[in-house]
Amino acid sequence: MNPLRLTGPEAGVIKYDLLTALSVVGLNGSPTLQTSLMRLIAAVTSRYNWRADELSVGQRDLARMWSVNERTVKREIKRLTDAQLLICTRGGVRGRVAAYRLNYAQIARLSEPCWPLVGPDYDARMKERYRSETPVKVVQLADYAKPEASEPAQGGPGTWQRAMVTLSRENADQFKAWFSQLEYVAFEGGVLELRTPSKFAQRYIETHLLRPLVAAVEAELGPVTRIEFKG
């Protein structure tokens, strides 16, 4: 279950804050990310059942709402579930529409670097709400091989470890939200190969966080001419 209960006098504020979080992530992302989150926001504002904590809309209806074909709807839903913004709670079969729910903890984690952009009141409100909760984690098999996000990931050369330590010291929240997800693959001829958990994380890092990442890596490994991300 999600840690939040969207009932009571604070329910409206929580809903608007979630939609704001999705909006600012999109506005600070790539054109593809902007489109994805605009589509998600349209579906949520028009069809999300907050009482049941569920989004259950047929692909044909989503295609009409988004002005796309059903194939695009399938790709978009996959992109949103891969990013863990949506969690499938019931698979679709003939005669029954699939159901999804918003992953509030993931929305908070991905949007946290953008909270100050909205304003100090919003930033303080979101920090109080989400940092006072023990977030619910969507566990995948790969997670069992990952260290705690608060510590630099193990593996790779020692200099990569030192680069991660540098990033964690410079901005602990940013490191926890983004850099801790990176897995070192190789560094050869100035080309740094990294593995990311999702295309969403890759796009965000490419758009917003390349400068501190490159600076930390170059201080340890030498000049970086290119970064290649592997899914």
Question: How many domains are contained in the chain?
Answer: 2
Q: Are residues 158 and 78 in the same domain?
A: no
Specify whether 96 is located in the same domain as 26: yes
Residue 3 lies in a domain: no
How confident is the prediction along the chain (231 residues), in pLDDT tens digits per residue? 344 556 566 778 889 999 999 999 999 888 888 899 999 999 999 999 988 889 999 999 999 999 999 999 999 999 898 888 999 988 877 778 999 999 888 898 889 889 999 999 999 999 988 875 444 434 333 333 334 444 444 444 558 888 898 898 888 888 888 898 899 999 888 889 999 888 888 888 888 888 889 888 888 888 888 889 886
Helices 11-27 & 31-47, crossing angle to 10 degrees?
A: 160
Per the rule left: phi > 0, alpha: psi between -120 and 50, beta: everything else, 138 is beta
Residue 68 lies in a domain: yes
Q: What is the CB neighbour count within 10 angstroms for residue 197?
A: 18
Domain boundary (63, 88, 107) is at: 107
**Looking at the structure, do residues 36 and 98 belong to the same domain, yes or no?**
yes
CA distances from 110 to 46, 120, 127 (A): 23, 18, 13
Residue 178 CB neighbour total at 10 angstroms: 24
Q: State whether 145 and 93 are in the same domain.
A: no
Residue type, 224: V
Same domain (yes/no): 67, 152: no
What pLDDT shows up at residue 158?
A: 59
Domain boundary, last residue among 84, 107, 130:
107
- Enclosing domain of residue 48: 11-107
In a domain, 2, yes or no: no
Name which of 108, 128, 129 is nearest 176 in CA terms. Answer: 108
pLDDT at position 223 is 84
Sequence-distant contacts of 115-118: CB under 8 A, at least 24 apart = 115/21, 115/24, 117/24, 117/28, 118/20, 118/24
201 occurs within a structural domain: yes
Q: How far apart are CA 39 and CA 53, in angstroms?
A: 18
pLDDT at 153: 45
Q: Phi and psi of 28, rounded to 5°?
A: -100, 10
Residue 33 lies in a domain: yes
Tokens of 217: 């890596």
Q: What is the CATH number of the domain that holds 53?
A: 1.10.10.10
Residue 151's pLDDT is what? 43
pLDDT at 141: 32
Is 1 part of a structural domain of the chain?
no
